[in-house]
Amino acid sequence: MNKSNAGGGVLLWLITGALIIFTATRSVHLIQSTMPAEYSIMAYAALAGLDGGVLAWLFWTTRTAHSGVQRTIGTLMIIVDLAGIAAAVLGDTMLVSDLGNKELVGTVAIWIVPVVIVANVAACVVAHVADPAQELRDADRAVWDELSRQKAQYLVNNAATIAATVAGEEADHHAEEMIAAFASKDGHGTHTYASEGGTGGSKRRRR
């Protein structure tokens, strides 16, 4: 890129930034003038969704978005945010110039701002879902899910064979545990009663 092209790009961004600052002040003024005080936070939400949104989507679409769904989403959101900015600037201009009914302008603002904000949120979600890296992660999970399903099906289909293979060893192990348990019980559960007239060394099991 030569110096003249670089200079032209910088100048264009400066003009864009200056105009965005102007439209941002108009958007905030419109919301603060038409909505109750308790909804003043909507002014900053509108600032993020309209003026900030158009810059964010422009940068993301031209620098980060992949071709296809992501590029389409970015382009559509630039158009949506620009339309919202145009409506906000026009409404605020009518408001300060007494060219429009305040209640009507307020009603339009109440509808436009939430719609644009929700559109931005939805577009952000779809943009992340449509990320090719996310598609790769989904495909990887699908492979592992299918592998787990086939392993479970194999075990079900071959349950008798698998059980027969390990049954003898498991039975021997269980028998050893039973013998050890009985031996331990006999060692602690018998007593010699020589003093009761029985044969010496005879044992009676305590109950």
Confidence of residue 122 (pLDDT cuts 50, 70, 90): very high
Q: Quick count: other Cβ atoms within 10 Å of Cβ 177? A: 10
Average pLDDT (147-161) is 89
Q: pLDDT tens, 26-74?
A: 888 888 777 777 777 777 788 888 888 899 999 999 888 887 888 999 9
pLDDT at 79 over 90: yes
Q: Give percent of the chain above pLDDT 90.
A: 17
CB 74 within 8 A of CB 127: yes
Least reliable range by pLDDT among 85-94, 154-163, 165-174, 178-187: 178-187
Q: Which amino acid is at 149?
A: R
| pLDDT over 60 at 207, yes or no | no
- What's the mean per-residue pLDDT of the chain? 79
Is 205 in contact with 190 (CB distance < 8 Å)?
A: yes
How far apart CA 134 and CA 25 sit, in angstroms, is 37
Domain residue limits, the chain: 3-130, 133-187
CA nearest to 65, candidates 82, 78, 52: 78
Whether residue 200 is predicted with pLDDT greater than 50 in this model: the reply is no
What's the pTM value of the predicted model, to 2 decimals?
0.60
pLDDT confidence tier of residue 124, bands split at 50, 70 and 90: very high
The string of pLDDT tens digits covering residues 189-198 is 444 434 444 4
User: By percentage, how much of the chain surpasses pLDDT 70?
Assistant: 83
